[in-house]
Structure formats: structure tokens, C-alpha cells
Structure 1
Amino acid sequence: MSGDRREGTGYMVAGTVLVTGASGFVGLALVPQLRSAGYRVVAATRNPDKFEGLEAVRLPSPAEPAEAFAHIVANVDHVVHLAAIAHTQLAGAAATYHAVNCELAAKLAEAAHRTIAGKFVFVSSIRAQCGSVHSGVAVESDPPQPTDDYGRAKLAAEAEIASIMTRGNYTILRPVLVYGAGVKGNMAALSKLASLRAALPLKSLDARRSLLDRASLCAAIIHSLRETGTDAGTFIVADKSPVTVPQIITAIRRGLGRKPGLFSCPTWVLAAAARLTGQGARWQTMNGDLIASSAMLQSTGWSAVENSARRIEDLSRH
């Protein structure tokens, strides 16, 4: 373990960070940002032999004993826990979510509590707080009301970590939907739609949703490692300005050097088409609000992206 201590805090300015999920969508961007910030990174992965260009250790399964987790945190200063299952079609999905998204996090936190001198940063999800559609502006003081097995497992993991890390050297982050190169899920579907040259009947969609730039989330993680003002805290992570589906499509197409190409269509027609094509759940998400405020994390010194649409447009140029 190495690094200098920042004046006025008890944590290393730089040192060794164990990152689970380092090969995932967020991890791929976080690792180089950590290195640029002066940290040594160790990836915890199920297949360390296949991980090229980075020091790696095997990530134990939730069923393995405490000794396996103690081994991987033995020589690190901090832990960033990204690894999770977001979607599964397996039978017994609730049990799978709980094992991977809660039990694994708890065992890692127990090992970290006994060993590390720095921070344990757990990347949870806004789904631990609310469903995919939410009335009003979501803030951390709202009573958590997850609506699916994924969100319930994440919330349970948050509670486990808070009860285990009694020194308070942990931070829980609840990001909203993250965008960036290589994104999957609903944002990937919108990007695919936007890449079509056909005009799209989506102009009338006015639901507003908070999004999060991937680089900004990585900055929030590094900020949490360094900032004692985030100790024992749970924070929503989101860009400042919510956007609509037409704004997202327009931003992507402008980034590609094209006109928006949107026209209005009755929403009941779009809803019927979504149901007929098996996209009813995705339609409900696209046509519902989920606005979340990251003001509390900003108050600790983290800077949020001001304009999601402009950021998406910039990213689409590359």
C-alpha cells in the first residue's frame, strides 16, 4: 500500500484500489480515470487469466468462505464494488439477484471492514430507491420503495454495508441511467433508433428522465474515495438537467451531423405498437418521468454535468 495523505483528511490521496466489475460498462471507464488520478488498480474478476493489461485477482462467489474475500483485500487501500447482475431471465431471479447483488457485497464489505484503511465505495442504483417511473423529484430523504427484485437486492446490500462498516468509511452511490460509448439496455435502443435515417414518430413524448454521464459517475466514485464528507452517506448521482426522448434522439442525430427528423404521433398509437411488438415495458419507461436530484452529492464538492443533451451530442460526434 502506498500514497500520500491529503491534508485535513484521513485517507490516501493515492494508493491501491480493488475494483470489482472492472471489465463492465462503468469499470472500463473507471480504471483509466483511477490510474490518471494516481491510483494503482487491481481488478477482481471471475476470470483473471483472461484479463489483459491489468493486475487481476479472482473474485470469489457469494457462497465462498470469508477467507476468500480476505485474500483479495489483503493489500489494498480502497474497494470500489461495481460487480452486479442487472438483468436475468433465469428461474429464481430473486434469489440470484440477492446472492450476487447483496450477499457478495456484504462479504466483500466484511473483509474490507477488517482490513482496509481507506474507503469502500458501493455503486448501488436509483432502483434501490424507486421504480423505473417516479412521481416528483427523487431525493435521498425519500423512503426507499424499490419495485423489483433487482432494486430490492441493491437496497438490502446498502443496509448490510451500513451495518458492517461501523467506522463509517464507506459511501453508497445511487446512479440513474448511465450513458456513454458501449452502453446497453434502453439507451442502446434509443441510440439504435437515432442512427436510423428514417423520420421517427416520437416528437410528442414529453416524459422527463434524469441521466448520468459515465465519466461523471467515475468522477463521483473517485471523489467519494477522497472526500470524507461522503463518509457513511448515500447519494443519488445524476446530471443536472433531465431530458425527454425527443431531446435524446435530437442530440444523437445532431452529433452525427443530421437533422432531428421527428414528427408527432398520438401516444396511444405508440403504446399499442409497443405492446404488439413486445416492448410494453420499455414503452412504460420511455413514457414515464424519473427525475432525480444529485444536489446532496454536489454539496460535498462533486460537479454534475449541466446539460445531458449537449453532452450526448458531443459524445455522438466521436
Structure 2
Amino acid sequence: MSKKVLVTGGTGFIGRAVLARLVARADLRVLAWTRRADAVLPVGVVPVPLSYNRTFAAGSPILGVDTVVHCAARVHVMNDEVPDPLAEFRRVNVEMTLDLARSAVELGARRFIFISSIKVNGETTQPGYPFTAFDTPQPCGAYALSKHEAEAGLREIAEQTGLEVVIIRTPLVYGPGVGANFRSMMRWLAAGMPLPLGALDNRRSLVALDNLVDLIDTCLDHPAAANQTLLVSDGEDMSTSELLRRLGMALGRPARLLPVPGHWIGLAARLLRREAIHARLCDSLQVDIERTRELLGWSPPVSVDDALRRTALDYLQRRQA
């Protein structure tokens, strides 16, 4: 008998890839929790409409769901225009998550996989001192705080009900269809724009979408994943300079990097009030995934260069369409 897996956020960047991976498994029946009746889903995925006054609309085919993969979230935005960003983050990322988990328990779900953020650990690391799953959380900002609070609430539900909670904290995720800062970098490189980032010696962990989805797939069934907080990355850290060079090669447009000293870039960022962008480009943020490897016997299946090539090819094809 096929197991039922419910995926939220199935029209989003991560959720779409999760659906495509899971629906290919013959032993699963895959459902997607959707806000829109006209949502485009992979063939074989069963839509589950969202009700605005309860977690699931009446008649939804969710009885007997075994596992929930919760990708839906209000993501971090650079210039938030809502009056109270923290309240809005809490409404979506905390309250909705915990309501969903409680409903999942009532429906008989065994496991709840929550896609969280490495920002729960903090914003930056010192080179050579990566974040681990055992670190005391130091969330900074409304988004990170909401993810931290959701994690704490899920652990309470797990203790009270026996639901197996799996928390996956991700750094920046890239892959086909990526947006935001990563797409901006590809646009700069494709245009041949000179960038003053050639002298950076920071270290950042990223995770390819294919590697993240592979870990999620592994966590559906692996007994050792139950009630664990898992960190994920590609297993290879790069400076921003190195990332731009390798991404430029993937795009067929070698990066034009100027060796501007990092402290000059920091001074310019402060003068232009672009400290947040400066931090994402110039600071270090490393993630230690050894515990994830040891617990699950898992390693990232896709190399950084292969993932960058797939990302670049998708970007170029979309630009030409």
C-alpha cells in the first residue's frame, strides 16, 4: 500500500522540486496543499485545497497521511512593507506551521519534516568555525526568530503527541528557477559587469536544490532522522570570489572581478546604507554537515560545479524564452 505524503508550498522554489522528486517514487501517493485552485502541479500530484477558516477544506483527501513536508513559509525580504513584519512572520511561519502539525497528528501522520533556516543559528561565522546542530540558537531578525519559534513549538508537539519531527536548517538554496540575490549575480555576470569582489577571502556554505531535495527524500523514511535537527549544505565552502568565478564559467561568461580590499567595500556599503547586502556578499557563513552525514549515511549527490551548470543553463534558457 502506498504511503501518503503531503507537501506544502508546492508551487514555490523548493516545494516544486520536492513534488517532482517524490511523485516519481512508485511507493508514494503525493498530495500538495495549495492556496490556488488553478495551481500547476506535476502530473500525478493530488491537490489539497487550503481553507481560510480551518487547516483543510472539507472533503480533502488527506485522511491517512503518513508524512508532511512543510516547505511553505513567509520568506525573508530585504524591504518589508508590512506595518509589523514580526507579527506577519509569526502568523505564517509559526501559527500556520503549528496548526498544520496538530492537524497532521489528528489525521494519523507519523512524521513532520520542517524546512527551517540556518539563520536560526545566526547570521555569520568566523572562518573555520562553522555552525553545528548543537549550537545555541542566535536568531537575528523577524524571519529567523519566527523559524526558531516554530522549531520550538514543533518540539513541544512532538513531546506531547509522539509525532516525529525532522528539522532541516538550510543555508542559501540555489538551482534552476532560483531568484533574489543569486539570480542578480547571474545577471551581473551574464552582462559582463565588472564587480569589486575579487579580493574576498570569506567562506560561505550553500546548498544546491537537488542536494536539499535528496536529503528531504532520505528523511521521509530514515529512522535515524526522527526528532533530529539536521544541517545541510553542498559540503564545499567557497569565498564569494570563487563562487562568482565558477558561476561565470558555468554561464560561459568569465567573471570580471576587481581586487578591491574588503574594508573599502564595507565602507562603501555603510555610506550607501547597504549593510545587509554587504553581509551576504562579504561575511562568512559556514555549515558543518558531518552530523547529518553520520546519522543518515547521507552525502550530497550533486557536485557544486554540476549544480552551478544546471542553474546557469536554466537561467540562460529562461532569458532567451
Q: CA RMSD in A?
A: 2.3
Distance change (3 Å), C-alpha of 1:108 and 1:117: closer
**Structure 2 residue 88 is matched with structure 1 residue 96:** yes
Q: Which of 73-82 and 28-37 deviates more?
A: 73-82
Counterpart of 2:13 in 1: which secondary structure? coil
Identity value in percent:
29
Tell whether the 8 Å contact from 1:243 to 1:309 is kept in structure 2 after alignment. Answer: no
User: Structure 1 CA distance, aligned partners of 2:286 and 2:142?
Assistant: 21
Tell whether the 8 Å contact from 2:31 to 2:48 is kept in structure 1 after alignment. Answer: yes
Tell whether the 8 Å contact from 2:210 to 2:302 is kept in structure 1 after alignment. Answer: no
**Paired letter, 1:91:** P
Tell whether the 8 Å contact from 1:30 to 1:218 is kept in structure 2 after alignment. Answer: yes
User: Which among 9, 30, 48 is matched to residue 37 of structure 2?
Assistant: 48
Distance change (3 Å), C-alpha of 1:115 and 1:296: same
Counterpart of 1:239 in 2: which secondary structure? coil
Q: Which of 181-190 and 269-278 deviates more?
A: 269-278
- How does 1:113-192 map onto structure 2 within 5 Å? 113-131=105-123, 133-135=124-126, 136-165=129-158, 166-192=161-187
Tell whether the 8 Å contact from 2:208 to 2:304 is kept in structure 1 after alignment. Answer: yes
Tell whether the 8 Å contact from 2:48 to 2:62 is kept in structure 1 after alignment. Answer: no
**Paired letter, 2:192:** R
* Aligned counterpart, 1:7: none
How far the C-alpha of 1:317 sits from its partner, in A, is 4.2
Counterpart of 1:208 in 2: which secondary structure? coil
Tell whether the 8 Å contact from 1:46 to 1:58 is kept in structure 2 after alignment. Answer: yes
User: Structure 1 CA distance, aligned partners of 2:170 and 2:301?
Assistant: 13
Q: Deviations over 1:67-120 (max 9, x none)?
A: 759956424221111100013431111000011001111011111122234321
How far the C-alpha of 1:313 sits from its partner, in A, is 3.9
Q: Which of 275-284 and 294-303 deviates more?
A: 275-284
Instruction: Count matched residues.
Output: 303
How far the C-alpha of 1:58 sits from its partner, in A, is 2.1
Q: Deviations over 1:270-303 (max 9, x none)?
A: 3344445553311122111100111111111222
Distance change (3 Å), C-alpha of 1:42 and 1:314: closer
Counterpart of 1:137 in 2: which secondary structure? coil
User: Which among 223, 240, 254 is matched to residue 249 of structure 2?
Assistant: 254
Distance change (3 Å), C-alpha of 1:309 and 1:49: closer
Tell whether the 8 Å contact from 2:109 to 2:163 is kept in structure 1 after alignment. Answer: no
**Paired letter, 1:121:** I
Q: Deviations over 1:199-255 (max 9, x none)?
A: 332110111110001011111111111101000111111111111111111112111
* Aligned counterpart, 2:288: 293
TM-score, normalization by structure 1: 0.87
Structure 1 gaps of 5+ residues are: 4-14
* Aligned counterpart, 1:6: none
User: Structure 2 CA distance, aligned partners of 1:223 and 1:255?
Assistant: 29
How far the C-alpha of 1:152 sits from its partner, in A, is 0.9
Distance change (3 Å), C-alpha of 1:314 and 1:182: closer
* Aligned counterpart, 1:245: 240
- How does 1:296-315 map onto structure 2 within 5 Å? 296-299=291-294, 300-304=296-300, 307-309=303-305, 311-313=307-309, 315=311
User: Structure 1 CA distance, aligned partners of 2:279 and 2:56?
Assistant: 44
User: Which among 172, 194, 212 is matched to residue 199 of structure 1?
Assistant: 194
Structure 2 gaps of 5+ residues are: 315-321
Tell whether the 8 Å contact from 2:64 to 2:109 is kept in structure 1 after alignment. Answer: no
Distance change (3 Å), C-alpha of 1:68 and 1:250: same
Distance change (3 Å), C-alpha of 1:67 and 1:285: closer
Tell whether the 8 Å contact from 2:86 to 2:142 is kept in structure 1 after alignment. Answer: yes
Distance change (3 Å), C-alpha of 1:66 and 1:50: closer
Tell whether the 8 Å contact from 1:248 to 1:309 is kept in structure 2 after alignment. Answer: no
